[in-house]
Structure 1
Amino acid sequence: MLQDSLGRRFYYLRLSVTDVCNFRCSYCLPNGYQGKPEDSFLSLSELEAASRGFAAMGTQKIRLTGGEPSLRPDIDDIITRLSHIDGIDQLAMTTNGYKLHKRAADWARAGLKQLNVSIDSLDTEEFHRITGHDRLNEIMAGLTVAQNSGLKVKVNAVLMRGVNDNLTPVFQWLKTNPLTMRFIEVMETSDQQVFFRQYHQRGETIRSRLLAEGWLPVIRGVAAGPAQEFYHPDYAGRIGLIMPYSKDFCASCNRLRISSLGKLHLCLFAEQGIDIRPYLQTGVATEELVKVVSEHLASKEVGHHLKDHNSGAMANLSQIGG
């Protein structure tokens, strides 16, 4: 089992398959993707080698991220290959929902179990302003297809003050929809410092409201993500909060990240990644991979430095998939 010097165990791997994204979200890539799609992203065999290596080290859950992972032409093959790895109990993916209504059923058949869909507003005009795409109705239809295909679906929204912090429409939607709506605090990155100061909203304000209105916390599993989830007996759906600026947020860290170029990131906001790609070339998990990851994990810090306005090497969240 992967364990750092503080006793934190790492059951969860976020595996980026591409940096490319086709949305222009105001909090991440307001000018669109500026890089060049390249053929140097991790290959299918390298992704499998990484996944098998981490499964051998105790990883139980893998989440495919981007950029936008569905832009990989071989994403169905990636899902199929990784879903058959012994020890991986949950194979999940985060998507912006592009063409979700056409592809969700194929992903479920390929072996995907869980899908997180980014929907930053339930208002069509606001959604268009945030993402640069007038696709909310299409994506909402995709949620239904995904659910009907047997996928466990959650919805992500980046919480922005004065933009989407009116929860009335969310409460109305969750009254009858058995989904989890998770609000993620805006995080400061080197590209978005002014945006952060203008729009950051503490998730704690929502947490206090939920508790006051009878919502109850959900017990987290060992491979669960960082969200604090809440349920209410009068609602079909749940609300989740991801609050990286809250006290002791990093104390429960259980996840590591691999970038689409094969860099291991011990933290989303680390100063640099650790190149593990040389250990993935054989297409199988190697003892060298296990050794190098274990050695570097011993140096994982207590927490990030976001409160000091230090986001490490992170310029925008599409680099490692958040």
Structure 2
Amino acid sequence: MQSSINSLRSLEQEALQDQQGRKFPYLRLSVTDLCNFSCNYCLPDGCLDHHHSEALTIDEIHRLVEAFTYLGVEKIRLTGGEPTLRHDFADIVRTIRQVPGIKKLAMTTNGYKMDQRVTGWLDAGIDAINVSVDSLDPRAFELITGHNRLREILTGIQKAFDHGLPSIKVNAVAMKGINDDELDVFLEWIRDYPVSIRFIELMQTGNNQEFFQKHHFPGEKIQERLLERGWIRKVRSADAGPALEYCHSDYEGSVGLIMPYSKDFCNDCNRLRVTSLGQLQLCLFAESGIDLRDLLQRDDQQEALVARIRESLKLKEDRHFLDQGWTGGTQSLSQMGG
């Protein structure tokens, strides 16, 4: 595909910034809303409603990425659903890698067949991986996800290290009565292993209210335990996600806490989201998105696309309203990869 960046030469090149002065070097791009796991906190009945066959094409993705990099985005994370369910996932990665300005191309995966596929992802151009591991107990893992695949995921993590990836982030949704007793197990795992564990506070969505009320476990409780044991807060990088990072001199790995219900969580927001259907989401919990897809059809639409993205930023709220029970249009996190 020919580069469409020439059509932007008449525009002023200026990084994205919202009304609160926050800048956005980080884009989370969903490439499908289909997921093949049935995690109890997200899709307990499986993925019954999806638009996998209607997802953005590679050409549309290329034009989208060029526009966002022109506006200062340097880091892109490919999400789903489960992004690797795209048969052309490696081609998507290679296509994005051709766009100048991308400093980091990451992915989030449930780890499905990771032991067989991870080297292909890395060879295509992925340079950072987040993989979901909500429990290190095989029985609890299967209870949470509906799949007995913990062994293949752990093997896949090791294969990524063997292939040269320096570190991996592991996501674990902390849930009361399900895995909230595994902190010591996770910490022992990373004592001599360069993994960054991300404990994610369970978030309420449109379809999990009862589950949320029963199993919500405040991230502050994990934070208190870490501080009591001598863990120290790390300095946050400009393109970092929402996690508060902690390190300890006795551990090779690190710990991140994602606590969306904490005070001032949104102050440092630095990321935007685009759904697999081309909707710009200004917040994970926005009521609706802003359609970009009509401006992804031809290279000569880039100027209008950039203008729409810039104008849309004026609508971004200063915070979400999760603490008031407002979940917006998000029915499940699989809609746009969390």
TM range (shorter): over 0.9
Q: Are 2:168 and 2:194, in contact at CA under 8 Å, matched by a contact in 1? A: no
- Residues 46, 283 of structure 1: 8 Å contact kept: no
CA distance in 2, matches of 1:162, 1:99: 28
Q: TM-score, normalised by structure 1?
A: 0.98
Question: What is the DSSP-based 3-state SS (H/G/I as helix, E as strand, rest coil) of the residue aligned with 2:105?
Answer: strand
The one of 24, 44, 65 aligned to 2:38:
24
Q: Is the 8 A contact 2:33 2:50 kept in 1?
A: no
Q: CA RMSD in A?
A: 1.1
Residues 189-233 of structure 1, C-alpha deviation per residue, up to 9 Å, x if partnerless?
110000110011110111121112111111111111000110000
Query: What does the per-residue CA deviation read over 1:124-153, in whole Å, with 9 as the maximum and x for residues that have no partner?
Result: 000000000001011100000112222341
- Equivalent in 144, 167, 170 of residue 155 of structure 1: 170
Query: What corresponds to 1:250 in structure 2?
Result: 266
Question: TM-score by structure 2 length?
Answer: 0.93
Instruction: Please report how far the alpha carbon of residue 284 of structure 1 lies from its aligned counterpart in structure 2 after TM superposition.
Output: 7.2
Gaps of 5+ in 1: none
2:149 to 128, 135, 149: 135
1:230 is matched with which residue?
Answer: 246
* Matching of residue 176 in structure 1 with residue 212 in structure 2: no
Q: 2:205 aligns with which of 189, 192, 209?
A: 189
1:284 to 1:232, Cα distance in 2 relative to 1, 3 A = farther
Equivalent in the alignment of 2:121: 107
Alpha-carbon distance between aligned partners in 2 of 1:262 and 1:284, rounded to the nearest angstrom: 18
* Cα offsets for 1:16-55 (capped at 9, x unmatched): 0000000000000000000255421100111111111100
Aligned pairs (5 A) from 1:253-292: 253-282=269-298, 286-292=302-308
CA distance in 1: counterparts of 2:299 and 2:108, whole angstroms: 24
Counterpart for residue 24 of structure 2: 10
* Cα distance between partner residues in 1 of 2:34 and 2:298: 26
For the residues of structure 1 that align with 2:103 and 2:206, how far apart are their CA atoms? 35
Stretch moving more, 37-46 or 253-262: 37-46
Query: Contact (CA 8 Å) 1:45, 1:283: kept in 2 or not?
Result: no
1:299-314 alignment runs, 5 A limit: 299-314=315-330
| Aligned residue number for residue 120 of structure 1 | 134
Matches of 1:84 and 1:161, distance apart in 2: 44
Do 2:246 and 2:254's aligned partners in 1 also have CA atoms closer than 8 Å? Answer: yes
Identify unmatched segments of 5+ residues in structure 2.
1-14
Percentage identity across aligned positions? 51
Corresponding residue for 1:298?
Answer: 314
1:172–1:4: structure 2 CA closer, same or farther, 3 Å change rule? same
Cα deviation code 1:234-270 (max 9, x no counterpart): 0111111000000000000000000000000000000
